[in-house]
Amino acid sequence: MHEMSLCEGIRTVIEDQARAHNVHKVTRVRVEIGKFAGVEKPALEFAFDVVMRGSVAEGAVLEMLDLPGKAMCFDCGKEVEIDDRLQPCPTCGGGKLMPTGGDEMRVKDLEAA
């Protein structure tokens, strides 16, 4: 389950930011997850609770924010939102799309007590 290692990375970010801002308790963590990031949300939520034990974020709420898939269409020249990497352009129907977004995952912000 790679969600466990993702959460270990999230914990590192949280601990670094907590130290930098003299925070002793994080109550909420908002994470942006792209449509094509390959993250299983239930597994991420489970792993988050396990990995955060003993940290400043123990007991924190994990809020997952969805980011759309995006691609540049070479036929019409527009950047479009897509639900599947293989779908045609929703604007012109063209099939020459280059993905430009949706595979990212990042900590958006933290809430501290």
List pLDDT tens digits, range 47-59: 999 999 999 999 9
CATH number reported for the structural domain that contains residue 9 in this entry: 3.30.2320.80
Q: Which among 29, 32, 36 is positioned nearest to 11, based on CA atoms?
A: 29
Range of the domain at 98: 2-112
Q: What would the mean pLDDT of 67-90 be, rounded to a whole number?
A: 95
8 pLDDT above the threshold of 90: yes
> What was the pLDDT predicted at 113?
86
List pLDDT tens digits, range 84-94: 989 999 999 99
Q: What would the mean pLDDT of 87-107 be, rounded to a whole number?
A: 95
Task: Please provide the average confidence, as pLDDT, over all residues in the chain.
Answer: 95
94 by Cβ neighbours in 10 Å (0-12 / 13-18 / 19+) ranks as middle
- Quote the pTM value: 0.86
Domain count, the chain: 1
